Amino acid sequence: MVLKDENRSNDGEQPLDLFLKIGLDERTAKNTVANNKVTANLTDVIHEAAVTDGCDRTIGNLLYTVATKFPANALVHRPTLLQYIVSSKIKTPAQLEAAFSFFATTGSENFKINEFEEACGVGVEVSIEDVERIVAELFEEQKNVILELRYRTNVGELFGHVRKRQPWADPKIVKKLIDTNLYSLLGERTAADDEKPKKKKEKPVKIEEHSIPVDAPPKPSEEELNPFSIFPSPEENYKVHTEVFFSDRPVLRACNSREILEKHLKATGGKVFTRFPPEPNGYLHIGHAKAMFIDFGLAKERGGCCYLRYDDTNPEAEKKEYIDHIEEIVSWMGWKPFKITYTSDYFQDLYELAVELIRRGHAYVDHQTPEEIKEYREKKMNSPWRDRPIAESLKLFDDMKRGMIEEGKATLRMKQDMQSDNYNMYDLIAYRIKFTPHPHAGDKWCIYPSYDYAHCIVDSLENITHSLCTLEFETRRASYYWLLDALGLYQPYVWEYSRLNVTNTVMSKRKLNRLVTAKWVDGWDDPRLMTLAGLRRRGVTSTSINAFVKGIGITRSDSSIIQLDRLEYHIREELNKEAPRTLVVLHPLKVVITNLEAGSVMDLDAKKWPDAQIDQSSVYKVPFSNVVYIEHSDFRMKDSKDYYGLAPGKSVLLRCIWIWYMCTAL
């Protein structure tokens, strides 16, 4: 196997020599070589522009800008722009920036040459006289300010004013004319012009006591007010936001063509579509509450739809009990799915697409054992069956489907990149054989798709606009987009957020399952567990859990651990608004209030819960007379500074009674 030397261009020439030939200074060229991504882009640009033998320095600098800034969603049009640069039809940075803006909007679609040339000022000649006139007019307008500031005048601002009036003027000529006009107006530079301006010392303002202003609290950011503002709209899903690098082929810039995006938007009506995709292999825990808040919350905030999709690709670990629990607990959390689906609903589609993947040369049937696959991945070695004929893989895959191959003797693997720096591009398994009935699909299938194969395809089939998951799946993003690109399917916008970690809790479903199956706890709803069923059994409300996860926000900080106190705070806040309270005296001590008439009884209003508003529905009556009962522990014969209960000669405030009474204990 021959490995490609990343430090050598396509024709064998060292990139550094190539970059020096186009006029880059030595420092810039060396810094470029240190960046593999820019090196690859600039090398491709030089070859596309056919200037491997060198070019003018001005053209070279423009080519460097193209290599670093050209819109990734319009690469098909890059050769066209390069021809305009090499022929000097586009010769200024301003024209180049205008070209970038034009192509960023156009994307990969066809465009009209006359519209492009008009947008970039191609063929527009600006005479020196025109520039002189514009600069003279500007100096006349700004004369007083320039005379006051002299050589401390911001030349950049003057330059910007000229560019607004004549964007295609040669920047070198503009700079020269501005300098000339400054000299003509101000004369020689003096020593005073080089002095730093002295800051005037401001006398402290006397503030009268009665007029001290109260500092207004800082306004919350847009993200704090609406945590979903960080996500783009569905119409923007033609832009590139992920690049997949390969060892043996060009960079994959994940984006949708205009045609695919328009078809998707027509199917969704331009709405946001998300999905909450739990695997039914256990009960949901508080980490799933955050996922629900993000998936269902984004759809609700944008007026869209959210699927509840059971990711049921592993029949050995999934149970009907878990499926029923998930649907029930999602409802208890206050979320209503747009539709309930199963990955197994798409098993036929997934199988047909797997066949197509083989036909396109992107998948093969492999006979390695799990141990061998692990060893070959660690050594970055190709499977011995990787290059088997397509027809052979098609036949073997059909044999797998018909149950003619033993379990564990064959898998379907995707032909990705075994030399990649990303472990999740090492020819992941797409299908494996399992002679196990499926809890939803029954015994129709004996081959089942893997998560890595099924997840992205079902996202695409359901027209998901935002595929949101936790950060441990970030390295799988490359495989996600590789597969959709290989099949020519619509590509959702993928974004990862930090998983919820809470102190002193077990959050792993695998560990929770072990605690339950080993009977260390009383089932999945044991109040000691952080499962949502356990929290509910403990008395925690769904609204307090949602308030907790909303307060955490949607971040990508993967190392943060949330204190359990924070959850308990939201639980208390909720209970203080809704949980009725009752007063009880366990060890009564009779107290006679001597300055209250004997026999008189007053009905006082007591709050049913601490944060209740005083109205008839939130209070109950407490009879009050000259005889009351208090706890024994709330009375002492001898008072002390650190004691706040009742003592001889001491006044106390009784709950619900807003009058001070002198009390005598009997």
Phi (first) and psi of residue 628, to 5 degrees: -130, 165
* 121 half-sphere exposure, CB direction, 13 A CA radius: 21
User: Token pair for residue 11?
Assistant: 């024709």
- Tell me which residue of 235, 328, 325, 382 sits closest to 509, measured CA to CA: 325
Question: 405 in helix, strand or coil?
Answer: coil
- What single letter denotes the amino acid at residue 285? H
How far is the C-alpha of 401 from the C-alpha of 167, rounded, in Å?
65
The set of residues, in sequence order, having a beta carbon less than 8 Å from that of 164 and lying 6+ positions away, is none
How far is the C-alpha of 510 from the C-alpha of 601, rounded, in Å?
62
How far is the C-alpha of 270 from the C-alpha of 256, rounded, in Å?
15
How far is the C-alpha of 200 from the C-alpha of 317, rounded, in Å?
75
- Tell me which residue of 357, 359, 333, 375 sits closest to 454, measured CA to CA: 357
For residue 65, the surrounding DSSP H or E stretch is helix 57-69
Helices (H) and strands (E) in the chain, counts: 25, 17
- Tell me which residue of 564, 475, 493 sits closest to 240, measured CA to CA: 493
* 77 half-sphere exposure, CB direction, 13 A CA radius: 22
How far is the C-alpha of 289 from the C-alpha of 276, rounded, in Å?
10
Block residue for tokens 């066209």: 80
Active centre residues (catalytic): 279, 499, 509
| Cross-sheet strand order for the sheet of 339-342 | 273-276, 305-310, 339-342
DSSP string, 119-137: HHTTT----HHHHHHHHHH
Taking phi over 0 as left and psi of -120 to 50 as alpha, with beta for the rest, 582 belongs to beta
DSSP state of 597: -
* Helical ranges in 70-110 per DSSP H: 78-86, 93-106
User: Where does residue 567 rank: exposed (0-12), middle (13-18), buried (19+ CB within 10 A)?
Assistant: buried
